[in-house]
Structure 1
Amino acid sequence: MYKINPFSESFKNTNQQLVGHGVRNIQILKDALNELDGNEESDVYGAGNFIEDFQNKMAEFLGKESAVFFPSGTMAQQIALRIWCDQKGINKVAYHPLSHLEIHEEDGLKKLHNIEPILLADKSRVIELEDVLAMNEEISCLLLELPQREIGGQLPSYETLESISSYCREKGIKLQLDGARLMEILPYYKKTAAEVCSLFDSVYMSFYKGIGGVAGAILAGDTDFINESKVWKRRHGGDLISLYPYIISANVYFDQRANKMEQYYHNAVELAELFNSCHGINTIPQIPVSNMFHVHYNAPLEKIKQIIIALQEETKIGITSNLRPVNEDVCYSEISIGDQYSAISKEDLQNVFKKLNEEMKSI
């Protein structure tokens, strides 16, 4: 039986939320389907105008020769790394210690592909050029996650990316971009997606995070790489009879939100300033570099839960649905800005954070 979580239920019962695009329910797909002709033919096992037109659109957006739609980013990235390892004949890749591949995929890269990861940099910071230069292992591919989600969405400088890219090309190391949140970092770098992706040999981007689609991901690169990835996609069971529900929502919400990323970014900077104005609260990074950041509360988890539940019930404004311990005395939540934030009045925002500040002072 499904066990109700009072903390997440408190967030769901609010009228407005600081984060996200709204409740993830079936309405997301219903809205996406609304404008379509029901007689349009779907894709069939990865083929057909429906899927191919979308893949071409994404390849152009990312500045790559070719692209293929995957039902999940986990599948796409493992396949990308497998192709690069097979090509070079070295089953070693490098990435951050808190990469999704390392902490959320049950060792899929190791168990399914026999690929050994080399972990670069301290887990509290992003990978820098010095970390790459100091590698003693020979690798086939280096994976960079932009932004680095598990440490609050931090980013290296663009100059660092350029230097790492140049070094990898000089040494024959392929560079894979974990760009699950690629669109969300473009306002900070002041670059197009194609400009950022030009530094990488292959790139993955998600369609359900900042874009807010149902699910799915794109993998892009040169034509030979993508053709090989399609073979591996079938081997992984990723060629479903049809993927159109995912593609429709990806396409619709990409078009709706591609030009809103700068707004989300500036809203995140504003919201982080409000959190940092409260006693006993700080954000990581202090000034966000994308639409996401972490909020650290210098108090025990259960105490902060009580405060937030009470505030959400009183103000009907949702602050967060996730709260995790750092240690006995500190907890944190992850914040990702979407459409919801702009609907809250400045007066209501100031009221919520005034009350939050007072509660934190009383601990």
Structure 2
Amino acid sequence: MPENTRHRRQAAMRGCDRILSGARPATMRELLAAMQAAEDLDALPDLYDGGPVTALEERVAGLLGTEAAVFFPTGTMAQQIALRYGADRTGNPTVALHPLGHQELHERYAYSWVSGLRAVRPTTAPRNPTAEEIGALAEPVSTVVVELPLRDAGFVLPTWEELTAVAAAAAGIGARLHLDGARIWESAPYLGRSFAEIAGLADSTYVSFYKTLGGISGAALAGSRELAAYARVWRHRHGGQLFQQWPAALTAMAGLDRELPRVPEYVRHARTVAAALAELPGARVFPEPPHTHQFRLWLPYPARALEDAAFALAEEEKVWFASGWRDTEVPGVAMTEITVAAPGLEWTAADVAEVGARLIDRTAGA
């Protein structure tokens, strides 16, 4: 997204009285105020390690039921090291990745360029691989990656039974299972299991602190003590051993305290919002119903017209619908992602239908 569009979106959202998709952007002053609300601010900060960073690692390990967790400044770094660990332990540089996975679309193939690994594709279908597809891989792999949910397929999740079968299939071919759990927080309601039960299927799990939880940055890689020791060495080698990271750790802890308990409510309400949006003329939502609090929406208009209408609605009527519209392979049809967070809980199905109709009116009249 161009920088000027991002700034315009942030300003428009902050000026709105009602927000359907997303959360109101926070100012730096507001973020500092959130950090000041943390407990024990008189404690010393981390110095390369320790302090609130260690406390956060211990809390994540407890949530996920793992022996240890290691804080990382970015998820891209954490995921690279998870895959490198598997390759080093097995001597096999080949990993099973989905072509729509985060490593392929959003990490600039770091696993290949930085670590010298190569990928095979268990499937190209817009979903995570099945147990049968893992078992049918034509060559050995050191790690199988499952993204929960698979964001670029529409935030889709496997069922619990499918996920347990994939874990068993990975073990059956002698591979580790790594969960890209950046959005594991909102995956648990659909899977019907605790975070510990989900992570318990895997050899390593990555989680994000700014996606969903609202932290300023940061991630964690969770697994065995052996993985954690390895991760700390390679975190340093990748330049991730920062002198102080307490601001990110404090906002992550705040997100675990305040935002995480509300996530199941967001997921439930996303179904109400999606059902109302699906009733708009020419609209389509996917998945239907949503698996998490995020889903895709298509409308039969060009992306530019929808984007202009969304900003006009925000700037003139102080109501934020959604932005980030992009044209699809179907001419005249655009798609965006909807995220139901705290502000969206205030919207009834009737509210969604009424504002959606106003957006369409503005778009059609442009």
- Cα 1:354/1:225, change in 2 over 3 Å: same
- Give the match for residue 202 of structure 1: 204
1:230 matched to which residue of 2?
A: 232
Please, which of 269, 273, 277 is the counterpart of residue 271 of structure 2?
269
Q: How does 1:14-93 map to 2 (within 5 A)?
A: 14-26=16-28, 27-46=30-49, 48-93=50-95
- For residues 171 and 306 of structure 1, what CA distance do their matches in structure 2 show? 51
Q: 1:180 to 1:172 in 2, by over 3 A?
A: same
1:10 touches 1:313 (CA, 8 Å); kept in 2?
yes
Change (3 A) 1:219 1:176: same
Q: Please say which of residues 71-80 and 321-330 is displaced more in the overlay.
A: 321-330
Q: CA–CA distance in 2 between the matches of 1:143 and 1:18? A: 32
Q: How much is the aligned-residue C-alpha RMSD, in angstroms?
A: 2.2
Distance 1:41 1:188, change over 3 A: same
Q: How far has the Cα of 1:49 moved from its partner?
A: 3.9
Q: Equivalent residue for 1:331? A: 334
Which residue of 270, 292, 308 corresponds with 1:306? 308
Q: Are positions 1:351 and 2:340 aligned together?
A: no
1:345 and 1:269, CA in 2 relative to 1: closer, same or farther beyond 3 A? Answer: closer
Preserved CA contact (<8 Å) 1:67 1:218: yes
Structure 2 CA distance, aligned partners of 1:5 and 1:75? 25
Q: TM-score, normalised by structure 1?
A: 0.93
C-alpha distance in structure 2 between counterparts of 1:340 and 1:4, whole Å: 22
Conserved? CA contact 2:285–2:297, under 8 Å: yes
Q: Which residue is 1:185 aligned to?
A: 187
Identify which of 134, 150, 164 aligns with 1:162: 164
Secondary structure at the aligned position of 1:113 is classed as coil
The match for 1:120 is 122
Q: Which has the higher contact order (CA 8 A, sep 6+)?
A: 1
Deviation at 1:44, TM superposition (A): 1.1
Contact kept in structure 2, 1:98 and 1:123, CA below 8 Å: no
Where do 5+ consecutive residues of structure 2 fail to align?
none
SS of 2:155 mapped into structure 1? coil
Runs (5+) with no aligned partner, structure 1: none
Note closer, same or farther for the CA distance 1:109–1:139 as it changes in structure 2 (3 Å cut). same
How many residues are aligned here? 362
- The answer for the alignment partner of 2:174 in structure 1 is 172
Shift of 1:190: 1.5
Match of 2:334, SS state, is: strand
User: 1:298 deviation in Å?
Assistant: 2.1
TM-aligned CA distance change 1:10 to 1:197, over 3 Å? same
Cα distance per residue 1:136-186 (max 9 Å; x no partner): 021000000000111210111111111111121222110000000001011
Alpha-carbon spacing, 1:184–1:35, altered in 2? closer, same or farther (3 Å): same
Counterpart CA distance in 2 for 1:19 and 1:233 is 35
User: What CA distance in whole angstroms lies between the structure 2 residues aligned with 1:309 and 1:16?
Assistant: 13
In the aligned structure 2, how far is the partner of 1:177 from the partner of 1:302? 36
The one-letter amino acid of 2:355's match is: V
* Identity among equivalent pairs (%): 30
AA paired with 1:80? A
| 1:52-101 deviation digits (Å, cap 9, x = unpaired) | 22211110110101111111110000001001101000001011111111
- TM-score norm. by structure 2 comes to 0.92
